[in-house]
Amino acid sequence: MDNWKTELDEHFKEKKQTRKELKDKKEELKKSARRFIKKTALPAFDELGKELGKHKREALVDKKKDWAALMVRHNKKKEFVYEITLSAEGEHLLASRSVYSPNEKGKLKLGMEGKIRTPENTSRLDKIERVWPACNSPESRR
């Protein structure tokens, strides 16, 4: 007769453990996102910014926990913005890119977006070692 009490206790212990595991996984994903932005995306943006400077372009980098953007200006006008956004899909983080270009009025409009993939065609963040925004700039699509 007391067996149901034991089963009920076990049910709530398992539920509590599951919540803790989910919280730990979510925290690990957040750490991975910050690490990717800091160690992969920002160094690539900085390196590209230095090269763009040699071509009289100004590169400005903006970042948040799961997002980074590179805005490129020439003669004080925006040429394009390359943005990286991270999102969770199951237990993995994925990186997406968006490129914004100015329209004829100078307003930035989305020109291209998609997942960042490795040469092996995986978009899992833990497999991406380098982000090269230059190969996805508006000029390279022409």
List all residues 6 or more positions away from 99 whose beta carbon is below 8 Å from its beta carbon. Answer: 80, 81, 82, 83, 110, 111, 112, 113, 136, 137, 138
Question: Considering the chain, what is the average pLDDT of its residues?
Answer: 80
Domain that holds residue 47: 3-141
Residue 72 host element (H or E)? strand 67-74
Reported as a single tens digit per residue, the pLDDT across 57-114 is 999 999 887 889 999 999 989 999 999 988 887 777 888 889 999 988 888 898 887 7
More confident residue, 141 or 19: 19
- Nearest partner of 68 among 45, 94, 99, 102, judged by Cα: 45
Domain count, the chain: 1
At residue 27, φ and ψ (nearest 5 deg) are -65, -40
Q: Are 66 and 33 in contact (CB under 8 A)?
A: yes
Residue 31 has pLDDT above 80, yes or no: yes
pLDDT, position 137: 39
Distance CA 64, CA 130 (A): 19
- SS3 call for 123: coil
SS3 content of the chain, % helix, strand, coil (to 5): 45, 35, 25
pLDDT, position 134: 42
Q: What is the pTM of this model?
A: 0.69
